[in-house]
Structure formats: structure tokens, C-alpha cells
Structure 1
Amino acid sequence: MSFTMLLNQIINMLSSIKRYSKKTAPLWQSASSAVFCLLVLSGCSTLSNTNDSGDHQHTAYPHSLSIEITGQKTPIQQALAAEFALRRGEKEEAFTRYYDLANSTRNVSLTEKATRIALSLNNPQFAAKATDLWLSIDPLSHAVYPIRFRVFILDKQVDKLSETLLNAYNNSVPLNFITPIINAFASSPNYLAIVDTALNQLPNHLTTQFEIRSALAHTAYLQGHFQRAKKIAQSLVNDSNKSKTLLESNVYFILALIQKQEEQTEDAITTLQQGLALYPNEYSLISSLIDFELTNQNFDIAKQHYNEAELPPLYQSQLSIHYISLLIQNGKIESALNVLKEIDYLSSGFADQFYFLEASALASQDMKQDAIETLSKINGQLYNTATEQMVVWLYDLKHEQDINDIVVYRFKKRQNVEQILNIMQHHEDNLKPQLSLELANSILQQKPDANPIRYKKALLVDSLGNWQTTETELRYLLNKDPENANYLNALGYTLLVRSNRYEEAIKLISIAYEKDPKNPAIIDSLGWGYVLQGDAKKAEPLLNEAWQILPEAEIAAHYGEALWIQKKYDEAIIIWQKALDSTPNHPVLNETLNRLNPSMLK
């Protein structure tokens, strides 16, 4: 057996031990026989020792055993040391050891290992160093070029990106890795600009290659340079037709999308048909073609494309979802329901989506009660969305009294506190605060530690005229979380405006202010406290600060009153008018103006 083969076996054995040990006992307990073999190969001592009577005693190796081998290390010993460093989580040391060993042995497997470690460290410098070595050993490797391309994008090295592509071309490595990597950076305009620059500085003989031109079309499109992208894509399609060279399917997709944007729908359809003649099972082309045909009101043609599509099950289900959604959007409800009848929801892997589409179609036919029953079958990732849609439709049906029972029942399965807050707010937006309060009480019986719901309840009961319950609930919350600035401020503000306990109120608000001095609600509370204590001058800078951070109607009411008290009438009117323009029916603002300047409300 050659040394390289032996070394690769050792590396594979170490990797298999690492994988195996994750599922069973610690490495040194579960893989002792394998480790024994490795240690024998490396010249280390065995896993047992002998006492004075000659009996063998097993040595218990700790999980974090570190092997130090003195003197000149053999390559196998170096591999062991590198793997043990990786096992201990010392990735930088592991990289260095693997890199040095790869460099000395010229072993491709070791360079790959070093590269993978560099990538896991998110270290572009290490990755570049490792792939430099990899290329020096095997410049024809197809695997190394995509790695270097991605690394140099992240490291923003334009010249290295161009060099990587040139080297790949010179070594006859296919350039089909470029576009998928570009797509991975689709939402990162800075990186796309770097790739675009690198592509455009390639030598002329390379920029004529179809893969490079396709990449240029992609970067232009993703950066919003649609005319440039269209020009490149159209020239690629024309040249492909002449030379019979196969293009990437995305070129047809990009060209068709731009044509559709420019309302050249017939041209877009023709482009997609050209692409599908070459890639008959390409999801993006089929789904777009169906979309464009429906846009042109060609419902029978769209249906034919859908029925003739032969995709893998996953993509077929996604195509069904896309097609049915478009039918509903175009008012073809019966057609959508007929397509749904042909689908086995449960075996599709997308049962939630199909139930939701069915419910939407039924609701479009004024069958919202049936739609709600359909939504009740949803049990996966759309569970919470279905609950909120039920609430909307129950309000549409004037059955809002049924909402809380349904929501409380569904909460038992998925305790989503944020959703309860949303539904409480929906009740309040529909002028049903009592339903909001009843929902809060029911949920708190199930989950007494739902602090956000209790906090919202506390604020709600104050608006319903029961501020004593607000105080009780806020003190309950503060007992559990005495450092919470929002709770402190809410209790202080409640006492401030509902009682004459000004000293206690301002003390609570001052503590909240110390904890969160940039919170406009707290700043406003403190300023208003000073106004109520008769010190409008001290209040003014605080209320001004709150207004600058959050120009909201209640803050405007307080700030304007502080100015008005100081006879700064014009300044007060300016603040109040701004608030009136944005929130004309705010109760606190209207109450203030009724007292001080009622003419503004006429």
C-alpha cells in the first residue's frame, strides 16, 4: 500500500470515528479499538499498562485527551495531531496543521480538509491560502474554482476573481459555476457590483464565452440594469440559435421577465417557449409561461401547459400552488376548486398551502363559514396564519362573539403570545375592547406567565375606566420583573393621571428614566409629571425631546400645554396643528384643545 493511500485511510478513519462518536459514547470510550490501531501506527503506547504483579490495568482516557508527540513527527502523527486539534474545537490550529501536512505531502485530500476548515472559520485569507496550495497540486480540479470564486467575492478581491476565471478557462474547467454563485448573492448589491467589475475586466477572448456573457446578464438584471441585461440576454439567444450552442435556462427566464416588464407579453411568451424547447422540465420557465398566458387571458392554453407539465413531485406541487393562486387572482374560482379536487393534499407535502388556497377560493364565493372550517384543518407552518384569517372572516360574518372560543382553543396547541396580542388589537380596532379583555383573561388562565398579554390587559382596563385593576396588574408584573422600565413607567403614568399620588408616580417614572433615558414614552411621562406639579419650565425640554424622537399626538398635547402655560402660544399652536394634521381624532389631544384653545377644533 502506498503512503498516500495509507494516509487517506487514516484521514477517513478519523472522520468516521468523529461521526460515530456523535451518536454514541465519547470518542475515547466508544472507539477504543479504532484509536488503538491509530496509536500503534503512530508509534504511541498501547491503551493498557501493567502493575507490579504483571496484571494489566485499563487506562481511562479523558474525552479531551491531547496527544503531544515529541521529536520529529511522522505524517501520520501530524494528521492525528491536526484531527485532535479539530476535535477540541481549536480550528485555527487544526487548519495550520492540516495545511502544513498537505504542503509537505502534496496530498489533495489534506488540502480539501484544510479548505473546509478555513471555510468553517469564515476566514477568506486561510481559504485563499489553502486553495492556492490545492491548485498548485491539482490545477485541473473542478471543485476548487467555485470555492475560490466565492471566497474572493466575500473578500472583495476583484483582481483575484478575474484571475480565478481566467485560470479555470485556461485549464479547461467548465465555467458553469458562476451563475449559481451570483444567484446566491442576489440580495447583496455590493457583492454583485464586485462580480460585475471582475467580469467586465476579463480579456476579450473570455468575455465572448457564453458562460461569461450569461453571468454578465445575471449581474446586470440583479442590479436593476434591465436594459443592459436585456441586450446581453437577447444577443445570447440570437447567437445560440445560430450556433446551436446550449444556453443556461436562466437566460431565457431573465429575458422573458424583462420583456414582460416592458409589456411585451407575446415576446416574453415566445422566449419562454424557446427555453422550454431546450429545458422542458424547468420549473421557472413553465410557471412563468402559465403566469404570462393567464395575464393574456389565455386560460385554456395556461391549463394545457399545467396539465402537460412533467416535473418531479416537489416541483409539481409547487406548480399546482402557483397555478391555483393565479386562477384565484384572476377570478377563476371554479377552475381553481376543480384543480384542487384532483390533488391529494396530504401526500403532496403542502397540505397547509392547499387548504389555505381552498379556503381562499371558498371565501371568494361568499362561503366564508366553509372557508373557516377548511382553515381549521391546517396543522402545520400556516397554523397561526390560519387562526388570524379565521378572525378576519368571522368579523366579516358578524360572528365576532365566536372568535375568542376558537382562538383560546387553538392557543392550547400553539401558544403564540404575539398572535394573541395581534387579535386583541384587532378587537380594539373594531371597537370591541371588551372582547379584547375577555380574550386576555381567558389566555391568562391558561398561561399566567404571559407577561406581554398581562401588560396589554393592564393598559386596556385603564382605557375602560378601571385603573385600579391596571395598578394591580402592573404591580404584579413589577413583582416578577422589578427592573422593567416599561412597567415602571406605565404604573407611574397611571398614578400620575388617575390619582393625586404625584410624588410616588414621579419616583417610579424617574427610576424608569434612569433605566431607559432615550425612551420617548418615559421622557413624556416625566415631563408631564412636572407639568402637573406646576413646573412647566422644567417640563419643556423633556417634552421637546420626546416630541423630537416621537412626534405623536399625546406627546404633542403635553408639550403644547407646557408651552401654553408659559404663554408661548404661537409655539404651542404649531405643535398642536402638526399633531391635528396627522391624528385629528386623538382623545387626549382633543381634550387638551377643548380646555385651552377650542377654536382649533372648529
Structure 2
Amino acid sequence: MNLKIPGALLLLFLSACAQILPKPTADADKRAERSQAAGKSKLPSQDLTAPMLFDFLLGETALQRGEQDIASRTYLKLARTTRDPRVAQRATEIALHSRQPVMALEAAKIWVELDPNSVTARQTVAALLVNADRLEEARPHLEKLLASEGGSIDEAFMQLNSLLARNSNKSATFELVKQLAQPYPKLPEAHFAVSQAAWFANNFDVALAEMKQALALRPDWEIAAVYQGRILARTSNASALEFYEDYLKAHPKANDTRITYARLLLAEKDYIKARDQFQKLLEENPGNADVALAVGLLSLELREYDTAELNFKRALELGYRDPGMVRFYLAGIYEKTERIDAAMEWYRSVTAGNQYIPAQIRYAILLTKKGKADEALQYLQQLPATNNQQRAQLIIAEAQLLRETGAYQKAFQLLSSGLEKLPDFAELLYDRALAAEKIGKSDIMEQDLRKLIQLKPDHAHAYNALGYGLAEHSNRSRLPEALELIEKAIALSPNDPYILDSLGWVHYRMGNLNQGLSYLRQAFGMNPDPEIAAHLGEVLWVQEMKEEAKEVWRSALENNPGNEALINTMKKFMK
């Protein structure tokens, strides 16, 4: 029997199917609605035959059962049969969801043929052709899309490279964007699109020329200024900095450009100029907590603690999204400036966030410095840890307090217990190695550090600690191996004063006195650490520069009156 159902019933059935369709995305605009309205008059007068009804039911049942391939093939068949744009749209969406690009493209072509005014249909066809690297076929669809944009063509060009991003042939994409932009020589967004496509195709000269053209057409367009600077920075940060500086003189309220300029200054380690730029941003945006924090951090880097403190407090007043981090920095300022009680109060005020555990550890360390080691240990032991990283942090902090009170054996045992539960935690391995070295277990020190190097081949301090440990606790035959390890460490971290200290020390132990002295002077100049001072003084003494050695030791002792390594070295030579 050939059952026929009137066209009105077909519309009712399609409406029911539409309830299962995904809702339109937020960027579905009024143009799409207008195209749908226009398309309603072109809907086919189609009766629902029994075979069609069967296919509709088969397709929907397959969808409900997760049989995507059957659903895609069935709806594509219906799109061909019914010649209804709504069915073609449904077929396209199902094929896309099922990751069937060939069927999706055929369905989308039927859809755009039946509803040529549909922006969504044409965008879908263009995107599928681009993804299939069929750019020449995509071009007429993209041209029609651009022509249909009218007053929104600027937005269309700004989105063009996003649409084309999945195509791996960047040179062909660049040529396509150039062709699409050619009819719009006075549109800055068209030049911007060409510049971006040229950048992705590694054609940097064209990228720069096109971005300059975009900015010439629209001089106050900040995004073009930001990108022009980035293109310049590819070959010369100095050129980019000069460009940003000139642009900001002409456009002093260009905040995005100023932020980019400040970040580039940071990358160049020009902290004073960077801080000045953020200060100007703060003057322009007095209610911006992020800018206040940036000024505070730069002031902290420059050791301008009063300015840093003022801006951190301003960030808190303005409701910065991570108050715990700001409170942690404030506590650090008070600690650096020897306002210990205030530092402890601010550390305790960190009650949540990523800085919670580090803040409580610093509080416990300060308790220890005030002679309350037992109270500090109890405080650490009662802190809640919510993950393994925090558990490891607390174990390491407790071990540090034990070492500071001379309880090296207890520190070693605590770290060993931690490694039983967390055997591959790099921080625990490193700290136990140091603790093992302190109690004469050089075999465990070497074992832990070699395992750490295996786990983290770029861990500079693991190589350094192992090299230094071998130099200190093995016979002279292992000194070349120690030197090789420390040279590996310095290659990974060339400006680390502690590694430079180790390098100087091992050269001294090998009899290379001049080399040793040179590295130790560098290390001490970068960081007048008491242990570096002990090493430098010893080499100076052996080189018969005894007065300089005494001065190095005395100055270090004034700042670190209880340092064990420094005191023992001085006793060894100044009898």
C-alpha cells in the first residue's frame, strides 16, 4: 500500500524532529533568521510517503541508539529525496556530529542549493571545503559570504583566518585571503586579514607591510598596533619597543598597546621602564586591581618595598580575584624588611588558594626563628593537605625546620617516610639526598640524585648537588666525574650562583686555583651567601690573599652570625 500523508502533516513531523536538533549557537544572527523566513516560501509541496516515513523513523531511531553512520546515511538519502532545506540542514548536522565529512559536505551542498540565502548553510559548505583543502571550491562561497555581510564586512574579515585556520596549506590560504581582500583596498580589516594569513605562511615582510597599511587606514586601531609590534619583535625587540613608544606618544590612552609594551620591557628585563608604564596604566585605570598588582610586583622586583606594599594593598581594596596571593606577597615584604610580627600576621591571613600552604610554611619558619621550634613543628603537623603536592610541601618544610635545629637524623627519617608513600616526588628525592649527605650517607645521596636525574633530566640542581657531593665525599678519582656533572648543571642554568660556586669549588679541589677563584668571585658577586663566602675565603687564603679572605668572611658573618659552614671554615684557617 502506498500511504500518502498531506504536506501539512509533513511540516508537523519535521517540527517534531526539530525538537531534537541542537539549539542555535549564540552567534546565530538575524541574517540567518531572515534567510529562514525567506526560505519558507520556497519549501517543497511534498507528501510524506510510506518509504519516507520509514526513513525518518529509521534515522531517528538510529540516532537514539547511537548508530551515527546509519543515521547519517538515512538522512542524506532523505535530503536527496525530499529536496527540503530543513531536512538537508538536519542531514548536515547529523553527519558533522558523526564525523562524516564527505556526507556532511554533500548534505550541506544540497542545503545551500535549496536555501542559497542561508548564511549558516554557506558557512558550513565553505568550512568543509577548507578542511578538505579544496580552497578553490571554497572561494566562491566565501566571496558570496563577504558580499552578503554589508555593514558587517569588517567583522567578517576579522573572523576569516579563524575559519581558514584548520587548513594546513598556509601558503594556499594566504593566496586565497589575498584574492578575497582584493576588492576591498580601503578596508583596514581586509589588510589585517591578509597580514595574519601572511604571518601564518611565514611571509613576514608582507605581514608587516599589510599591518602597516591597516594602521594607516585606521590610525587609532589598537589591535593593529599591537600586532605590528609583535611582527617587528620577531626580528628585533628594539624595533618593536621603539614602535610602541612612538605609537603611545601619539595615542597615550591606548591601554592594550601600553600593556603589550610593558610586557616586552619585562622580557628585556627593563623593570624600571616597565613599572613606569604600568604606573601610567594605573593612573588611567585607578580602579583596575590587575594593574595595581602588576605595579606592586615590579616594585617588589626593584626592591622598592614601600611602593610595592602600597599597590598590593590597593589591589586588595579593589577586590583582586586571588587575595591570598596578594597577602602572601605583602607578608614577604614585611619579612624582607624585618617586620617579623607583621609578616607572621599576613601569612596567617592567607586562608585559601594556591598560596595557603606556602604561607603557613613561612609562618612556621618564622616561629622557629623566634625560638619556638616545637610550636612550629606542631603547627605544620596539624595543617590539612588536600593533595600529594601539598603533602610533599609539608614534609619538606618540617624536614627543613628539623635541619635548622640540628636534628639531621630526624629530618632524614621524615623524608624517608614521605618517599615510602610518594616514591617519585622530585622535591622529596632532592631533599632526602641533602639530608643523607648531612648524616654521612653519601650512597643514599647518590642513589636519590641519580633517580631524580632519571625522572627529570633537566633538573640543574640535581646535577649540581650530585657533582658537589662527589667532590666532597669521594676520593680524588671521581673529581672529573663531579666536574662533568656540574658543567651539565651550569649548561642548564648558566646564571645560578650556587652552581657557579660548585664549579669554582670543584676546580679548586682539582688544583685549578685560578679557575676556581674566578668562578667563586662571580658566584659571590651575584649572591653573598655565607657558604659561597666560606669557599671564596678558603681559596683566597690558599692563594695568599689572606686579608681579602678575612674581609669576605667577616662581612658574611655579620649578615649570617650563626652559619655553621662559615664558622667552621674560619676556625680552620684563623687559628
In the alignment, the residues of structure 2 paired with residue 396 and residue 184 of structure 1 have an alpha-carbon distance, to the nearest angstrom, of: 60
Instruction: Provide the rounded CA distance (Å) in 2 between the counterparts of 1:451 and 1:301.
Output: 47
Instruction: Name the amino acid aligned to 2:226.
Output: F
Runs of 4 or more consecutive aligned structure 1 residues displaced over 6 Å after TM superposition: 183-186, 273-277, 292-296, 298-301, 391-404, 428-433, 461-467
Q: Distance in 1 between matches of 2:335 and 2:85?
A: 61
How far apart in 2 are the matches of 1:395 and 1:224?
57
Q: How does 1:198-209 map to 2 (within 5 A)?
A: 198-200=176-178, 202=180, 204-205=182-183, 209=187
Contact 1:362–1:371 (8 Å) recurs in 2: yes
Give the structure 2 partner of residue 10 of structure 1.
Answer: 16
Q: CA deviation at 1:334?
A: 3.1
Counterpart in the other structure of 1:595: none
Structure-1 residue corresponding to 2:190 = 212
CA distance in 1, matches of 2:85, 2:344: 60
Given that 2:173 and 2:197 are in contact with CA atoms closer than 8 Å, whether structure 1 keeps it comes out as yes
Describe the shift of the 1:384–1:292 C-alpha distance in structure 2 as closer, same or farther (beyond 3 A): same
| Alignment partner, residue 135 of structure 1 | 112
Matched, 1:437 2:415: no
Pairs within 5 Å for 1:285-364: 285=257, 287-288=259-260, 297=273, 302-303=278-279, 305-309=281-285, 316-344=288-316, 348-359=320-331, 361-362=333-334
Residues 357 and 390, structure 2, Cα contact 8 Å, conserved in 1: no
Q: What residue number does 2:217 align with?
A: 239
Letter of the structure 2 residue corresponding to residue 88 of structure 1: R
Distance in 2 (CA, whole Å) between partners of 1:227 and 1:364 is 49
- The one of 105, 130, 155 aligned to 1:176: 155
1:454-510 Cα deviation digits (max 9, x unpaired):
99599869878899xx9xxxxxxxxxxxxxxxxxxx99x99xxxxxxxxxxxxxxxx
**2:567 matched residue in structure 1:** none
* Corresponding position: 1:582 with 2:485: yes
Contact 2:122 2:141 in 1 (8 A): yes
Q: Deviations over 1:537-593 (max 9, x none)?
A: xxxxxxxxxxxxx9x999xx9xxxxxxxxxxxxxxx9x995774334899xxxxxxx
What are the Cα deviations for residues 6-47 of structure 1, in whole angstroms up to 9, with x where unaligned?
A: 355313433599xxxxxxxxxxxxxxxxxxxxxxxxx9xxxx
Task: Choose the corresponding residue for 2:174, options 196, 204, 218.
Answer: 196
Question: For 1:253-299, what per-residue CA distance to the aligned partner results, in whole angstroms no more than 9, with x for missing partners?
Answer: 2124456733464641453577787xx7xx73463366689978497
The share of aligned pairs that are identical, in percent, is 14
Shift of the alpha carbon at 1:235? 1.4
Q: In structure 2, do the counterparts of structure 1 residues 601 and 163 end up closer, same or farther at CA, with 3 Å as the change threshold?
A: farther
User: Which residue matches 2:223?
Assistant: 250
Aligned-residue offset at 1:232: 1.7
Which amino acid counterpart does residue 236 of structure 1 have in structure 2?
A: A
Match of 2:535 in 1: none
Q: 1:262 corresponds to which residue? A: 238
Quote the offset at 1:233 in angstroms.
Answer: 1.3
Contact 1:185 1:192 in 2 (8 A): no
Determine the C-alpha separation between the residues in 1 that align with 2:198 and 2:438: 57
Q: Counterpart of 1:251 in structure 2: which amino acid?
A: A
Alpha-carbon distance in 2 for matches of 1:84, 1:238: 58
Partner in structure 2 of residue 54 of structure 1: none
Taking the aligned partners of 1:585 and 1:296, their CA distance within structure 2 comes to 34
Deviations 1:326-351 (A, max 9, x none): 44445554334333334457955333
Q: Match for 1:416 among 369, 379, 389? A: 389
* Cα distance in 1 between the residues matched to 2:167 and 2:379: 45
Q: 2:72 matched to 1:72?
A: no
Check the 8 A contact 1:417/1:450 in 2, yes or no: no
1:469-484 matched pairs, under 5 angstroms:
none
CA shift for structure 1 position 219? 4.0
2:142 corresponds to 1:165: yes
Deviation at 1:217, TM superposition (A): 2.1
Question: Per the alignment, do residues 579 and 119 of structure 1 end up closer, same or farther by CA in structure 2, a change over 3 Å counting?
Answer: farther
Q: TM-score, normalised by structure 1?
A: 0.51
How far apart, in 2, do the equivalents of 1:335 and 1:135 lie? 62
Q: 1:162 touches 1:198 (CA, 8 Å); kept in 2?
A: yes
Are 2:66 and 1:89 equivalent residues in the alignment? yes
In the TM superposition, what whole-angstrom CA distance separates every residue of 1:173-195 from its partner, at most 9, and x where no partner exists?
A: 73635545747999x99675664
Distance 1:183-1:83 versus aligned 2 partners, 3 A rule: same
Gaps of 5+ in 2: 1-6, 24-47, 456-462, 471-476, 490-508, 512-575
* Contact 2:85/2:115 (<8 A) preserved: yes
**Distance in 2 (alpha carbons) for counterparts of 1:358 and 1:152:** 56
**Secondary structure at the counterpart of residue 155 of structure 2:** coil
Q: 1:82 to 1:320 in 2, by over 3 A?
A: farther
What do the CA deviations read for 1:302-343 (whole angstroms, capped 9, x no partner)? 5454344499xxxx5544444544444455543343333344
2:499 aligned partner: none
Q: Are the aligned partners of 2:130 and 2:138 in contact in 1 as well (CA < 8 Å)?
A: yes
Q: CA offsets per residue over residues 513-542 of structure 1, 9 Å max, x none?
A: xxxxxxx989xxxxxxxxxxxxxxxxxxxx
Q: Does the 8 Å CA contact 2:263/2:274 hold for their aligned counterparts?
A: no
- State whether residues 195 and 208 of structure 2, in contact with CA within 8 Å, keep that contact through their aligned partners in structure 1: yes
SS of the aligned residue for 1:14 comes to: coil
Q: Is the 8 A contact 2:479 2:510 kept in 1?
A: no
Residue 134 (structure 1) shift: 3.7
The code of the aligned residue for 2:155 comes to N
> What RMSD over aligned residues (CA atoms) do the two structures have, in Å?
6.0
Q: Deviations over 1:60-103 (max 9, x none)?
A: xxxxxxxxxx95132xx645543443333333333333444445
In 2 relative to 1, CA 521–410 (structure 1 residues): closer, same or farther, beyond 3 Å? same
Other structure's SS at 2:386 match: coil
- Relative distance call for 1:125 and 1:413 in structure 2 (3 A) is same
CA distance in structure 2 between the partners assigned to 1:156 and 1:360 by the alignment? 56
1:416 shift after superposition = 2.7
1:136 is paired with a residue of what secondary structure? helix
> Is the alpha carbon distance of 1:318 and 1:236 closer, same or farther for their aligned partners in structure 2, counting shifts above 3 Å?
same
Distance across 1 between alignment mates of 2:371 and 2:160: 52
- Matches of 1:440 and 1:78 in 2, distance apart? 68
For residues 364-375 of structure 1, the aligned pairs below 5 Å read 365=337, 370=342, 374=346
Evaluate the alpha carbon distance shift between residue 308 and residue 193 of structure 1 in structure 2; reply closer, same or farther with a 3 A threshold: same
CA apart distance, 1:213: 1.9
Q: Is the 8 A contact 1:200 1:207 kept in 2?
A: no
User: Residue deviations 1:434-467, cap 9 Å, x none?
Assistant: 56535436758xxx85454699599869878899
Q: 1:372 to 1:441 in 2, by over 3 A?
A: farther
Q: Provide closer, same or farther for how the CA distance between residues 415 and 94 of structure 1 changes in structure 2, counting only shifts above 3 A.
A: same
Give unmatched runs, 5+ long, in structure 1.
18-42, 44-69, 471-489, 495-519, 523-549, 558-572, 587-599
State the one-letter code of the partner of 2:194.
L
